[in-house]
């Protein structure tokens, strides 16, 4: 009889964010596969869970996953947890889940905290669509290339950042993305020093430069999507009214120049409208 794999989210700071169901599952399974067994012990002790633990992290998961799946196929139920939040989200677990799916092993989520989703939910930025980029690259040149590739992204985009690189990362971002772009920094979510700031990139960079505490802890950075300015394809009613009056009094050239100056509309649009209006005016004149 085949067992089952549970993918269990753990808290990202506040231990009280662990779900009742997650506690029950971790008590019931035969085995807990954890990114860092010592780290997860603190959580297990807090909730009075004593269960068998094995290690599954980015350095052993390619080898350990098939072995673990054999155990599941032989009937064991296994829970996968990472150090914080939802496994596989910038965390180990992908080889295990992928193989389990390929081998038709039941994989069931036990959802909970995720720094990305928590940050997004309080950001005030558009959430209908968004892009998650994982951790930003480590070196400045790779980061700048990455930011360049995101410069014209039209939806909210987010990346994870560490305390070691948050300042350098924002400095690099400000070289690529205009300083007036809205960004959100979500720091130490659900923890004692939780800080969520939303402002222009230029102002947030200033804050992070000036305040050492703004460089401590764990970060999610969210960047507003690039807003494509919609250029009008036709002139407004008011612009048409002004242009019509002028066309009745002056040549097309003068009317276009004056209407452009008076209304502030794009000359090309005024000119196109003038040609059409002039035709109508001529027809009207001939019919009178």
Residues that bind ligand SAM (CB under 6 A): 12-13, 82, 84-86, 89-91, 114-116, 160-162, 186-191, 218-220
Handedness of CA 183, 122, 217, 36 (dihedral sign): negative
Minimum Å gap between C-beta 238 and ligand SAM is 49
The least distance separating ligand SAM from the CB of residue 214, rounded to whole angstroms, comes to: 13
| Contact status, residue 177 vs residue 231, Cβ threshold 8 Å | no
Q: What is the separation of C-alpha 97 from the centre of its chain, rounded to a whole number of angstroms?
A: 23
Of 185 and 269, which has the nearer Cβ to ligand SAM? 185
CB 110 within 8 A of CB 26: no
CB of 82 to ligand SAM, least distance (A): 5
By beta-carbon proximity to ligand SAM, the closer residue of 131 and 226 is 131
Give 150 or 187: the residue with its C-beta nearer to ligand SAM: 187
CB of 212 or CB of 288, closer to ligand SAM: 212
Residue nearest to ligand SAM (CB): 85
Contact 259, 242 (CB under 8 A): yes
Nearest distance from residue 46's CB to ligand SAM, in Å? Answer: 17
CB of 165 to ligand SAM, least distance (A): 10
Cα separation of 240 and 126, whole Å?
Answer: 35
What are the DSSP calls for 210-264, one per residue? H-GGGGSS-EEEEEPPPPPP---SS--HHHHHHHHHHHHHS-HHHHHHHHHHHH-
Whichever of 89 and 99 has its CB closer to ligand SAM, that residue is 89
Quote the least distance from Cβ 123 to ligand SAM, whole Å.
12
For ligand SAM, the closer of residues 18 and 160 by Cβ is 160
Confirm if 77 and 6 have CB atoms less than 8 A apart. Answer: yes
Helices (H), the chain: 20-28, 37-46, 61-73, 94-102, 115-123, 140-150, 166-176, 201-210, 237-249, 252-263, 267-287
From CA 218, how far away is CA 13, in angstroms rounded?
Answer: 10
């Amino acid at each position: 009889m085949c067992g089952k794999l549970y993918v269990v989210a753990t808290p990202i700071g506040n231990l009280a964010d662990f779900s009742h169901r997650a506690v029950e599952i971790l008590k019931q399974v035969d085995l807990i596969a954890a990114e860092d067994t010592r780290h997860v012990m603190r959580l297990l002790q807090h909730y009075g869970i004593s269960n068998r633990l094995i290690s599954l992290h980015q350095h052993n998961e390619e080898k350990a996953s098939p072995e673990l799946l054999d155990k599941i196929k032989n009937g064991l139920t296994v829970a996968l947890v990472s150090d914080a939040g939802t496994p596989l989200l910038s965390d180990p677990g992908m080889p295990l889940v992928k193989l389990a799916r390929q081998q038709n092993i039941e994989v069931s989520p036990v959802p909970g905290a995720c720094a990305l989703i928590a940050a997004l939910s309080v950001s005030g930025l558009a959430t209908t669509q968004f892009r998650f980029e994982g951790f930003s690259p480590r070196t400045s040149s790779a980061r700048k290339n990455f930011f360049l590739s995101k410069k014209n992204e039209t939806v909210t985009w987010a990346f994870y950042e560490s305390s070691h690189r948050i300042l350098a990362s924002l400095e690099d971002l400000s070289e690529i993305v205009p300083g007036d772009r809205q960004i959100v920094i979500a720091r130490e979510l659900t923890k004692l020093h939780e800080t969520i700031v939303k402002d222009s990139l230029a102002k947030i960079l200033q804050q992070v430069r000036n305040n050492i505490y703004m460089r401590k802890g764990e970060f999610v950075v969210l960047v507003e999507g690039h807003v494509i300015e919609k250029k009008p394809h036709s002139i407004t009613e008011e612009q048409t009214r002004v242009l019509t009056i002028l066309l009745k009094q002056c040549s097309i050239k003068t009317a276009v120049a004056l209407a452009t100056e008076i209304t502030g509309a794009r000359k090309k649009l005024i000119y196109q409208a003038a040609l059409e209006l002039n035709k109508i005016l001529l027809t009207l004149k001939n019919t009178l």
